Structure 1
Amino acid sequence: MPVTSFYYCRIAGVVLPWRDASVDARHISRPIALAMKASSESIHHSDCEARLIVEHMPGFAWSAGQDGKLRYLNQRFLEYTGKRIEDFDRVAGVASFGRTEVLHPDDIGDTLTAASHSVATGDPYVVEHRVRRFDGTYRWFRVSAVRILDPMSQEIGWYGVDIDIDDQKRTDEALRESEQRLNRLIETLPAMVWRAAPDGEPDYINPRLANYTGRGLDGVGRGPEDLGRTLGDLVKLRVQNAMVHQDDLETAARAWSRAHETGAFDLTARLRGADASYRWFQARAEPMRDAAGRIVHWYGVAVDIDDRKRAEEALRKSEQELRGIVDAIPQTIVVLDADGRGLYANRPLLDYTGLTMEQLLTPDSRGNPVLFHPDDWARLQDERRQALSRSMPFEIEWRVRRKDGQYRWFLVRYHPLRDEQGRIIRWYAGGTDIDDRKRAEEALRHSEQELRVLIETLPAMVWRTTGDGEPDYINQRFADYLGRSLAELAQQRWQDVVHPEDAETAARTWSLARETATPVDTTCRFRKADGAYRWFHVHAEPLRDCDGRVVRWYGVNVDIDDQKRIEEALRTTQAKLARASKIATVSELAASIAHEISQPLGALVANGHAIQRWLSAEPPNLERARLTADRLIRDGNAAAEVVNRIRALFKRSALTRTLLELNEVIREVHRLLADEVAARRIRIETDLAEDLPPIWADRMQMQQVIVNLVRNGLEAMESEPSDSRVLSIRSARDGTNSVLIEIRDQGSGLEDVERVFEPFFTTKETGMGMGLAISRWIVEAHQGRVWATNNTTRGAVFSFTLPISSSASR
């Protein structure tokens, strides 16, 4: 009858006693004992075959007596542990039964408990523990053993096998971690995730969907039997057509109907929230089918696109899918005869290639060319033939074609099975998919190459040392600069290439950084290959291992020699500028004093001449002479006040402030300059606010500011026609906290309103450029502000504001 199906089976054999004293009774299995009925020759052949199976099976075979004392360990176990069977004779009972000498310390307790129970009760012995390999590493094994009775119910002993499950353990752990990550991903996704039965009834929703609908969180994330009213309410909403906006119901129905035809659910609709409002969502779902193609579940996700929908209706959110794929790629296994012809291939290899057993296995010992990449076929035949002829284990890397036509790299290891005479009777080949590793290695090589090119082309000196500070790498730019190789640098030490004046500081900095494991940041001079020294900025960072120990130092030296020279030149220039500034300040002070005192001194001279005229008259006009003498005294006092004020200004002395009416100061200035105004044939108009509040200020300095600004306006109109020579002075409140004074002339205006307050800036042939600068200093000393603008028609306006009386302004 032809074989039409394959199933995975677990085959267990038991050992029976044999009456032939020439054969070790512990090593004869029940199938062999049954086969002895055929013939003694057949029995002998089966005995040998059984030995081969036990010795070369992919596991550890062993037997023990009734009390658990080991009687037999197959050669594979002894080779794995690097022990002899005599090494296990030192212990007795369950300790021997459990082979505790080669177990991981953490597993001895559980192993002894299980062994004690089985030896005492006769129950099957099943345990998982880690066994130490001869090189000291541990691997997980699953141990299974049963107690065998002869037909007379007399106990013969225990017979067991250990199967290596280390790779399975790692795979299971990776699978558990993957499932946990997937669950966390689903629960924390910024989307509403759901699962439904084939008819659309939901049987799972994530917390985000439950929160949005406001239906509670009972059972969210558990199985259908625990979902409670959360899903019940959701189903109720669906049945009542209350979950989807009424205008979108028809679209939703069409999408669901189309999903059963196309196998994909895609809907953009408005869903109702807990507050009864609707928001736009992009909902998509995919079916999961069974082997027959029937839909088992729908898996869906709904993403809130309401903001995007409102902002731009034309845009549609790209498809979002949630796929959870857990792939277990077991090792492919092929069994070959002694000549390399295929005898058996396991299911993973058949599934990978898409071939049947008959198509995969060919009588040609060179292999099936359909499986391998054309570029590998010639090499493969030669290497495989030579390796098989050497009768030793070997491995080969090649590309194997997948059923979709793609090729992936595999590492295939061949292990021979030999008979008692050492002849090879089987080859076992295990293939491991290493395509991802190959690509990673290639990417790593490419990345390393790019990194090396980057380091070599950086405009800096890159270096690396061990944790102890011994250099083990410098880039080519550094080597070229120093004119020596890494080996020469390691022999001569770093200090030999550092300027003698910087060597001690650099050594101390480097030593401190290594002791404290802190970054290095310093500057020093390195000697070039031609003997010249250049300044470098040195920065290095430590690389630590998981325990915090420094294992590497990575550093970079940046050439700052040109910067150093520029900084030195800048410092020299700044020193020169500082000296020049001091000279200019003294000149400015002298010019200021000369400018301010020249006006009252001029008045003194003029009044002296006037007194002479009045006294020389016939008869002498004593009254006018007395009045002029009063003015002379006043102008002398004014000159003294000017000197005192300028001295106080430059010494930053405290101002002498009193409660001051600015309108009164303006009237005083008007009277003071009456003669000068009349002589220039200029008319002054005033517009003084009656409600102008008093301010705390220095009367003489305020008078000086207004005099300077009025004189500036008078001088600006000297070249103007006499009928347009009008100077306006206005006072007013500026908001609630300040007063404003404006002096408006009808002159030619200002060319540069930003520079008029700078010292020594003037457009007059005889001017010194200090009046407006002093006025600005005085106003700012009173926490005020002064500025100039051009009139819309002609002339200029000089304005300043001062704070109204307060404790802060005193």
Structure 2
Amino acid sequence: MPRFLSIAAFECQHRASWTMMDAVAQTRSGIQFIEQERAFDASPDGPEAELADRLVGRWYVELPRSSKTEILQVEELLVGTSLIDLNGEARRLLQASSADELAGASLARFVAMTSRPAMAELLEKARVGSVEVTHVCLLTTEGAPVGIRLLAARTGEGDDRLVLVGSESSLPDAALDELIKNEERYRRLFQRMPIALWRVDPRGVKPLLGDARDAGVTDLVAHFNRHPELLDLAMDSITIAEVNDLTVQLFGGRSGVDFIRPIRSYWTARPDTLRRVIGARYRGLPQYTEETQVCGIDGRVVDVVMSMAFPPPDDIDGDCLVGMIDITDRRQAEAQLRELQDEFAHAARISMLSELTASIAHELRQPLAAITTHGDATMRWLATEPPAVDRAVKGLEGILKATERASAIIQRIHRMAINEAAQCTSVDVNAAIADTALFVKHDLQSRQVALVLNLEDGLPPVFGDEVQLQQVIHNLIRNSAQAIAEGQCSRRCVTVSTARQGDHIEIVVEDTGPGIRPEQAGRLFTAFETTKRGGMGIGLTLCRSIVTSHGGTIEPDMSFCDGARFRIALPLQVSP
């Protein structure tokens, strides 16, 4: 770093008097001082250097290349001027952690709009050898304004290298006026924004977070789960400082004053959201977003997308800004869409059952025939003299078993046929697939297609509607069987496999049919697109809709060359 310690010393000795000097005296003093400095060669390790580094800021800059007679425009000059180095006080004034953080940055980044003409004039005059003092407003790395009394001079290392020397002072009048205007603009924007805005004061929760850090807590959400009384304390310690007009309208208040209170009453429907918000702040995240529910002043519960911006980590007393968008209409539309999807799925199941009439009749014919056979035998054993009671009992037991089997078949048909909303429970995927296999067995046999099940033992459950998931598996198996039959394939087999893959259960349905042509891949899940004779083109569309509603994915495996293969991934059931 070039040495301008005598400038710094001069600044230290005359800081208090600068505000008393007129512009002519300041300029004359600066010129004389620069001339003295060029002959100065003090040790950089002395007490003068340490004092200057702590009290006077020095910024070393490089101007953009230009001829001495060329006058650059204000923005062109400031944008083209780059920081080379700066001392400790300059770093403090700009709130920079190190000189390297700002090395190469444009000077325009740190000069307020109202001070840019004065800064540009100062640089131009210093470039031609003139030394002047000016009063400017600089901006910190966080955008905060700071007033600086500043002079500029060449460093002796070329006409394009300057040193700016200055100390903190009050803001220039123009900068103060601009701050007031900016505050007014902020107020107008805050009130007129088309989303609900809250300014939240989180300082009350600072001791709680400090205690958690002192105790070595790393997961604050889990800590709150173990100590719910701490979340209660947080809800009573964080307060709303200000809200905009749309907040009053959305949450049923009469004025913004109604909302200035601790935040507890707003989160009684979803305290878990607040738990995660505080946890995000504790982890040092800059913001957090979630769909949640907020309780209004009038008692309504409003569905919103909530996004909260946190202050920088070093601003522990800063306010948080919360934005909320009402999604009530969207939630209602989603509910209506789910109803339509349920109706759609029900219609598809009825259509499927009509196609499986022969299979259903075959399935029922066996237990009904068994009932008839055992009934006839039982009647004969009871008609003997003496009655063969033991054998008659065995016949009755056979009737009961056949009846239970017939009842199970009817229950499966009933579950597929009834029209009711999805009933999400814990689902054993392997059991659901095995049950589906019984349903389609006769249909596959009639097409001379074998069904192979490779089901991994001990799979954890998924959370979903068993009937809908069985409908997906049934659709894929039936599509495979139809493709094999229509393609007159020599190998005729459908394989269903399951396995755990991390936090998902993977279901793979593959066949030995003609496969999927590349040009078909992009339209597989498009409604009413079909390659089957007489097909409606809704089967795979419905499959994707069901799987997606369960938080999963379904995709064709186009790398499989021996037929068609579909992979389904379903998330594991989350423990409460």
Which of structures 1 and 2 has the larger relative contact order (alpha carbons within 8 angstroms, sep 6+)?
Answer: 2
Higher helix residue share: 2
Higher strand residue share: 1
TM-score (norm 1): 0.28
